[in-house]
């Protein structure tokens, strides 16, 4: 993947942050629609399934998200580091779901198990979302 090309195109793009955020919502909706069509959900049976519809729409979502990342002065090196960090958190969340009982942050420090019964909050599958800002940015 040529991330330098994606970065260059992102920085050349004239859309503002707000316009890109709205475009991301549009692309996410198109991805959702393709998933519904693929699953033959009610109200979509009359729509034609695209050969690679889900994958193509997922790529559109990724490209718009990357354009936002690069617009906000993100670098390719930072992208790689953040993806690695978030993937580690995601992996730890999966281990908890498979019966483990602890999570470590990117530095290998053990974080509280928030997925245990009675904990104030259930796990977040992807390792981001609602929760304290310390958890969201670790």
pLDDT tens digit sequence for 71-86? 999 999 999 999 999 9
User: Residue 88's domain spans which residues?
Assistant: 77-136
- Clarify whether residues 91 and 63 are in a common domain: no
Number of domain units in the chain: 2
Beta-carbon contacts of 136 under 8 Å, excluding residues fewer than 6 positions away, are: 128, 129
Mean pLDDT computed over 101-115: 56
Mean pLDDT computed over 120-135: 46
Q: Is the pLDDT of residue 105 over 70?
A: no
**Closest to 30 measured CA to CA, from 50, 7, 10:** 50
Mean pLDDT computed over 53-71: 97
- Clarify whether residues 34 and 60 are in a common domain: yes
Mean of the per-residue pLDDT values for the chain?
Answer: 81
Domain final residue, candidates 54, 74, 94? 74
- Clarify whether residues 65 and 9 are in a common domain: yes
- Clarify whether residues 56 and 102 are in a common domain: no
78 or 107, which is more confident? 78
Burial of 83 (0-12, 13-18, 19+ CB in 10 A): exposed
Domain final residue, candidates 28, 58, 74? 74
Q: Which residue stretches of the chain are H helix?
A: 3-12, 17-38, 53-71, 76-97, 133-136
Strands 103-104 and 110-111: antiparallel
Q: Is the pLDDT of residue 112 over 90?
A: no
Domain final residue, candidates 47, 74, 101? 74
- Clarify whether residues 17 and 69 are in a common domain: yes
Mean pLDDT computed over 4-31: 97
- Clarify whether residues 7 and 69 are in a common domain: yes
DSSP 39: T
Q: Is the pLDDT of residue 8 over 80?
A: yes
Q: Is the pLDDT of residue 119 over 50?
A: no
Structure tokens at 76: 């390719």
The answer to whether 123 and 96 are in contact (CB under 8 A) is yes
Whole-structure pTM value: 0.68
Mean pLDDT computed over 36-63: 86
Beta-carbon contacts of 113 under 8 Å, excluding residues fewer than 6 positions away, are: 96, 101, 102, 103, 119
The residue to which tokens 């790689």 are assigned? 80
- Clarify whether residues 69 and 95 are in a common domain: no
């Amino acid at each position: 993947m040529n991330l330098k090309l994606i970065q260059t195109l992102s920085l050349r793009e004239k859309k503002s942050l707000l316009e890109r955020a709205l475009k991301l919502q549009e692309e996410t909706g198109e991805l959702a629609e393709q998933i519904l069509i693929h699953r033959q959900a009610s109200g979509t049976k009359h729509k034609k399934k695209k050969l690679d519809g889900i994958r193509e729409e997922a790529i559109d979502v990724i490209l718009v998200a990357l354009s936002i990342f690069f617009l906000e002065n993100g670098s390719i090196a930072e992208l790689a580091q953040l993806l690695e960090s978030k993937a580690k958190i995601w992996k730890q969340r999966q281990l908890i779901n498979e019966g483990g009982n602890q999570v470590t942050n990117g530095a290998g420090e053990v974080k509280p198990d928030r997925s245990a019964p009675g904990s104030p909050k259930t796990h977040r599958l992807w390792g981001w979302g609602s929760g304290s800002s310390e958890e969201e940015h670790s």
